[in-house]
Chain A
Amino acid sequence: MQDVFIGFTSITWKMLVMYGIGGILIWLAIKKQYEPMLLLPIGFGAILVNLPLSIAWEHEGVPGFLRILYDAGIANELFPLLIFIAVGAMIDFGPLFRNPLMIFFGAAAQFGIFATMIMATLLGFDLKTAASIGIIGAADGPTAIYVANKFARDYLAPISVAAYSYMSLVPIIQPPVIRLLTTKEERRIHMPLHEKQSPQWLRILFPILVTMTAGIVAPISVPLVGSLMFGNLIRESGVVERLSQIAQNELAYLVTLLLGITIGGSMSAEKFLNWNTMLIMAMGLVAFIFDTAGGVLFAKMVNLFLPRERKINPMIGACGISAFPMSARVVQKMASEEERGNIILMQAIGANVSGQLGSILAGGLVLALVPLLVK
């Protein structure tokens, strides 16, 4: 008789909490429209995997569909790389070519990764786990998944959820940090718009040279950089428009769907509900705050050396995080609120696409440097 009601008798309070967390993610996706393409499947996956007996994950030693997807796309890092091809096909480096100085904000805004990594070690995490937590600050879901999968597989779920949740919360996280670190006068700085078009040969050569350079500097970053730049090459070559469209649409949507539900599927109550998850979520937020601060303060420092007419609006620094194009939109909105007609969107996009480059390079360097110190 007990077998008939096994579904009821197997429910634990932890499962109920996970239904609540899944419900909150679904609510954020539908009601608040925060990254709905990801939070919706993650939320549903979290509910699915925590149903009694976890049939969707594994039953009597036989893998369920979530486990099959996990092994096929997360454990071997395929899904993040496919997402990168799609993202590469969406990125236009044109605004960066028009304002090449913006590239340095893509480096400065990675500060949060490293500050959070140091903080995580102070809280007792080992170097590999700390590095995986820090990578939440890359503001780049696929990179976070890729690094966590290599260094801290047990924490993959909270790290992925933190990365995607905070990316969707960029419009809430960044403005107060920017306001705190800048004066009204600084936020009103106008920046001249460069209208020049970059030649096609540069657009084609750039992804190839970036891949080769990254491959020499940090060979382990090649899958990350290579897939991103392959997507971009498809876009910029101009001869495979259909492939570019498929990468930007069908591939992006399909893999995002599978990635989301699989990440949700890895959120089993026993793995997810613990003190470390809370710490990881908190440190993820800290990473985003430090990223923003790092970018803004770097812009203010650069301004010390620039003549008055060439000063940079320091809000641009905050766009050096990889959350593309949300961060650029947030900063443009803030600039417009400070002064109507102040258009800094192109420069902000330039910094934002640099952030994409900076985050995968940071991820690659962490992947290269950490194993030198810890076996």
Chain B
Amino acid sequence: MTEFIETLRSASATVQAIAVSVGGLIGVFATLAFFFMMIVVADRFGKR
């Protein structure tokens, strides 16, 4: 991982922007997916 980041550090700004975009979108989707699971589980739990 450290090596990958080091490679990106020497890449062009556009390549860095693409990397941030991929990481950012995955991060937002994954975090909101976690909140989704939280709400669904809470809903199931609430019905009992």
Contact = CB atoms under 8 A, between A and B. Distances in A.
B24 A366 contact: yes
A211 to B, nearest CB: 11
A370 interface: yes
A213 interface: yes
Given A121-B13, A126-B13, A218 B20 contact: no
Given A96-B39, A111-B25, A373-B19, A104 B33 contact: yes
Nearest to A370: B20
A325 to B, nearest CB: 19
Contacts of A62: none
A202 interface: yes
A97 interface: yes
Task: Give the interface size class of chain A.
Answer: 35 or more
Interface string A87-111: 0000000001100110110110011
A358 B18 contact: no
Which of A96, A107, A131 has the largest count of B CB atoms less than 10 A from its CB? A107
A101 B36 contact: yes
Contacts of A213: 31, 34-35
Interface stretch (A7-15, A29-37, A112-120): A112-120
Contacts of A370: 20
A1 interface: no
A96 B42 CA distance: 13
A103 B36 contact: yes
Contacts, number: 113
Contacts of B13: 121, 125-127, 130
B36 A199 contact: no
B17 to A, nearest CB: 4
B16 A127 contact: yes
A114 B26 CA distance: 12
Contacts of A113: 24
A374 B20 CA distance: 11
Chain B contact residues: helix, strand, loop or mixed: helix
A213 to B, nearest CB: 6
Given A127-B13, A205-B42, A373-B16, A100 B25 contact: no
A199 B46 contact: yes
Contacts of B30: 217
Contacts of B9: 373-374
Interface of B: 5, 8-9, 12-14, 16-21, 23-25, 27-36, 38-40, 42-43, 46
24 contacts: A100-B39, A104-B32, A106-B28, A107-B28, A114-B25, A118-B14, A118-B17, A118-B18, A120-B17, A127-B17, A131-B17, A198-B43, A205-B42, A209-B35, A209-B38, A217-B27, A218-B27, A354-B32, A358-B28, A362-B28, A369-B20, A373-B8, A373-B9, A374-B9
Given A121-B16, A127-B20, 11 more contacts: A100-B36, A110-B28, A118-B21, A121-B17, A127-B16, A127-B17, A202-B43, A206-B39, A213-B34, A217-B30, A372-B5
What 3 A-B pairs come out closest when comparing CB atoms? A114-B21, A121-B13, A100-B39
